[in-house]
Amino acid sequence: MVEKRISITDVARRANVSITTVSRVLNKVPTVNKKIAQRVELAINELKFKPNPTAQRLAKGTQNTAIGFVIPGYPGIFHSFYAVELMRGIGHGCETLRLDLIFHITDGSNPLRSNFAGGLIFADIIENFPQVETAVREDTPCLVINHIVKDLDVSYIAVDNIKGGFTAAEYLISLGHKRIATVTGNIQTQAGIERLEGFQKALKQHGIDCPSDYVYKGDYSRRSARHASERFFSLDNPPTAVFAASDDMALEIISVAMENGIKVPEDISVIGFDDNPAGLFGPVGLTTIKQPLFAMGEEAVRIIYDIMTGNEKSLVHKVLAPDLIVRESCAQPSA
């Protein structure tokens, strides 16, 4: 259960003064009567009140406040199209609104000092739910990207990953494939779970089996895709198509196929997820599911700024639809 955060109204009531007076004391306005200021400070200490840094900056007329971008740490983060695109979108949004950006990489093991910025943008929730919960409890303006949050009152903007996985599988099925494998994303992430769920849902609707040998639990990395490919290609009845939960993994599958003399798309079709520009410059153009990462990051900044400044008073829940981008890496299965 999330505890109610003490507000400036509670302090004003305890000190028997107006909210304006409390705000003036917090911002150290020198004209406040000393006895009244002492009474307010006593109420602040008794109630253990923690002022919202955004409200203080705005009260002082400082518009150029900071946004904190919190992202779970994982190997290769600075080579990740997903992370870089989010950072580009958020950075562009901050530049447009003349906001500072503080970048925080976390493994979720340490408490997050939510007073280091006026608002927080969390990229997904991986083992750091307590950090999001604390930010909400402390009434820090915050928003989660790429994760539909159902068990906490927090704003979010996400991609419909179930639809993305479903669309990928259905496209392969429409080409005539029935032996379809998948390399999942990290199933600790909502995106990884939901892309697999959508993929399996499409197969089930079309009466196509998905044996365990055709499902490899990856982690979005090229290394996991290489292991998956080697396993798929060694099967007695190998798949004719593979859906990878990221473009990085899809590109690695194509590389392994070519190393083994397997042609794409003649012998095996491959579809990814992200719409990484790298997919345009390989041996074949990569068919993929596009998720609007840059736009999502930019929109997240606009929403969090509206929450910080009081222009958005209700929770914002947005789910964006992914798009199928057809290129050359998929075709009908060979006879």
pLDDT, position 139: 77
pLDDT class for 56, splitting at 50, 70, 90?
A: low
State whether 298 and 238 are in the same domain: no
Closest to 238 measured CA to CA, from 214, 217, 261, 262: 214
State whether 187 and 284 are in the same domain: yes
When pLDDT is averaged across residues 234-249 and rounded to a whole number, the result is 97
Q: Does the pLDDT at position 3 exceed 60?
A: no
State whether 39 and 107 are in the same domain: no
Domain count within the chain: 3
Structure letter (DSSP) for residue 207: T
Phi, psi angles (nearest 5°) of residue 104:
-130, 115
- Alpha carbon distance 132, 110 (integer Å): 12
CB 320 within 8 A of CB 163: no
State whether 154 and 170 are in the same domain: no
Encoding tokens for residue 139? 């009434």
| Higher pLDDT among residues 319 and 21, named by residue | 319
When pLDDT is averaged across residues 18-33 and rounded to a whole number, the result is 76
State whether 154 and 169 are in the same domain: no
State whether 176 and 260 are in the same domain: yes
pLDDT, position 210: 92
State whether 212 and 122 are in the same domain: no
State whether 183 and 276 are in the same domain: yes
174, part of any domain:
yes
User: Tell me: the pLDDT tens digits for 251-302?
Assistant: 999 999 999 999 999 999 999 999 999 999 989 999 999 999 999 999 999 9
State whether 37 and 102 are in the same domain: no
217, part of any domain:
yes
DSSP β-bridge partners for residue 143? 121, 155
Locate all alpha helices (DSSP H) within 60-160, ordered by sequence. 81-97, 129-137
Phi, psi angles (nearest 5°) of residue 128:
-125, 30
CB 128 within 8 A of CB 110: no
- Alpha carbon distance 325, 307 (integer Å): 34
Q: Where in the sequence is the domain holding 190, given as residue range(s)?
A: 161-291
Q: Please report, for the domain that includes residue 165, its CATH number.
A: 3.40.50.2300
